[in-house]
Every structure is written in C-alpha cells, then in structure tokens.
Amino acid sequence: MPDTLLTIRDLHVAYGPKPILRGAGFDVRRGECLTLLGANGSGKSTSMNAICGFVRPSAGSVSLEGTELAGRPAHAIFAQGVAQVSQARDLFPDLTVEDNLRLGAMRRGGRESGETLAHVYARFPRLAERRAQAARTLSGGEQQMVAIGRAMMSRPRLLLLDEPSGGLSPQFCEEIARIIDQLKADGVTLLMVEQNLNLAFRAADRFIVLRDGRVVDGGDVAAMAGDHDAIVRNIYL
C-alpha cells in the first residue's frame, strides 16, 4: 500500500446554503503530484481552500499524516507545512520581489531561509534579476514565479497549486512542468488544479475528477496516456 501524506474523507463545504463539496474524498501520496480536474465552478479551488483553512468545512476530515486539519485556522495549517499558490496569486503588489519571497519564510522556514532564497533564485534566475522590483511591475508569468517561489520559501511538505498555468504561454507551462519535477525531486508532495490537460498530464502522476461535489473518477496518468478524450468527456459532459 502506497504511503499517504494527506487523506481527505467525506468533505463537505458550503457557501451559505449553497453546497459545493458534498462528500469528496481522496488521498495524496507522499512525493507524488496529484491533479484535480473538474469543470469551472465544480469546487476545485474550494477544495484547495478547505485544505489550507481558508474556508471551514462543514463536515469531514482532512488529515495530514494523522494530524487533523479540518476546522483549524489557516496559520496553524500553514505551520504544519501546507502552502498554497492560489489561483489569484495574492502577491504583495508594492513590495519587492525579494520581500515577497522572504515573507514566505517569516512564519516558517526559519534559519535556513537564506539558503532557501538562494535555492529559489537558482530555480528562477529571472526573479534574481528583478529582486528589487515591485511585484506589481512584473509580467503575469513572472508573478506566478514569485507566487510559487514564495510558497517554496516555507519549505512545505504539501504544496497546493491552483491553476499554475492560468493565462500563461505554452513555454511557461513547460517551465512549470520542470519546476514541478524539481519540487518532486526535492521531496515535496503536490496537489494541483490544472485546466491545461497537456500540463496536467505532463506533470502529474495521478489525477482525480471532481463533479457534483464528489470525486467521480481517477487513475494513473501513465495508464491514460493518449486517451485524453475519455477524461475530457468525463470532466466536462
């Protein structure tokens, strides 16, 4: 049986009376990249936000190696080593690239943060060149690099990536895929939401499909190679 890092069971999330997740459940295995697929509005971002404490599940369990996270505040979950790169990126626009990155390590990452910063700059040389520039002056792709770099600064055990390719060019998608490979090599476990199926299948080990608030399908990416059509039908129809 594979080693599981995150276990989600029977997760329910509602915004007011409107239920979004209705009993979703899945596992994320240690060291893998799992991709969460689903139509627009199917609750992918909501799932990410429920895991990292931005929304409070009304029922169900989110367990990180036996530690229950559901219902705990976001900063406490972050302290357990769960970081998110959100769909909106949520950078600090008027702070410099370097300050944005360093902030990622201030509450977690501690003494090695200088080393981690060097590591992030090595991964993203473009950010090193622009370290003194305000984040709002960067291009969309560069901003996404800052968002990913900022999350890396906390040395997370589980990294949540919400549509890392959103609105970016194909070259950038390839770059994201390489970063994901490197993160996996560093021992980081990833849960990714991605609409770009090329990226989703290039970078991920497994996928699951969210529909009507539940997980309806899933499998190994390798086994599905070349059969994207079947998956697409399952997601969007």
118 binds, among another protein, Mg ion, ligand ATP, none (CB under 5 to 8 A by kind): none
Closest CB to ligand ATP among residues 38, 156 = 38
- Nearest Cα neighbor of 155 from 111, 96, 195 is 111
Interacting residue ranges for ligand ATP, rule: CB under 6 A: 15, 20, 38, 40-46, 87
Specify which residues 96 forms β-bridges with: 134
Which position among 5, 21, 38, 45 is part of the footprint of Mg ion (CB under 5 A)? 45
* Separation of alpha carbons 36 and 74, rounded Å: 21
Closer residue to another protein, CB minimum distance, 151 or 209: 151
Return the residues of window 107-136 that contact another protein according to CB under 8 A. Answer: 107-108
Looking only at residues 74 through 103 of this chain, which bind another protein when binding is defined by CB under 8 A?
74-75, 78-79, 83-84, 86, 88, 90-95, 99, 102-103
**Alpha helices, DSSP H only, in the chain?**
44-51, 74-79, 97-106, 113-123, 125-129, 140-152, 170-185, 197-203, 221-224, 228-236
Question: 63, 1, 69, 2: which is closest to 30 by C-alpha?
Answer: 2
The site for another protein (CB under 8 A) is made up of 52, 54, 73-75, 78-79, 83-84, 86, 88, 90-95, 99, 102-104, 106-108, 150-151, 154
